[in-house]
Amino acid sequence: AQSVTQPDIHITVSEGASLELRCNYSYGATPYLFWYVQSPGQGLQLLLKYFSGDTLVQGIKGFEAEFKRSQSSFNLRKPSVHWSDAAEYFCAVGASGAQKLVFGQGTRLTINP
């Protein structure tokens, strides 16, 4: 069965600092991997996804993520965070076709001015 682990429940970084959010997955085949962001009181917005090909994926809002099969990881990075990046971030894994997504527990990001 698929599973996702986000080891960091809460991360605080200063505005302008770099960011890395960790995600580890468990899945038997090649997974479809996603990062979503949820701002307070909002739904989920897709930041980026990995299906195949280049393991470094570029997303919206300046985010990128790198798929590392050997480490079963799909960490999210941003070189310089902005106060508006404060939100909850969810990593998710899915299978091919119209299958369900399995979400990690989420990482809450706080930005210090």
Strands (E), 1-106: 3-5, 10-14, 19-21, 24-26, 32-38, 44-50, 56-58, 64-68, 73-78, 87-94, 101-103
Question: What type of residue is 48?
Answer: L
The answer to whether residue 43 forms part of the interface with another protein (CB under 8 A) is yes
d(CA 72, CA 57): 15
Cβ nearer to another protein, comparing 7 with 16: 7
The answer to whether residue 90 forms part of the interface with another protein (CB under 8 A) is yes
The answer to whether residue 74 forms part of the interface with another protein (CB under 8 A) is no
The answer to whether residue 58 forms part of the interface with another protein (CB under 8 A) is no
CA angle 67, 72, 76 (to 5 degrees): 45
Q: Of 11, 44, 86, 95, which one interacts with another protein (CB under 8 A)?
A: 44
Cβ nearer to another protein, comparing 13 with 104: 104
The answer to whether residue 53 forms part of the interface with another protein (CB under 8 A) is no
Closest residue by Cα to residue 64 from 31, 35, 95, 93: 35
Q: Minimum distance between the CB of residue 36 and another protein, rounded to whole angstroms?
A: 8
Q: Tell me which residues touch another protein (CB under 8 A).
A: 34, 36, 41-46, 49, 51, 90, 92, 94, 98, 100-106
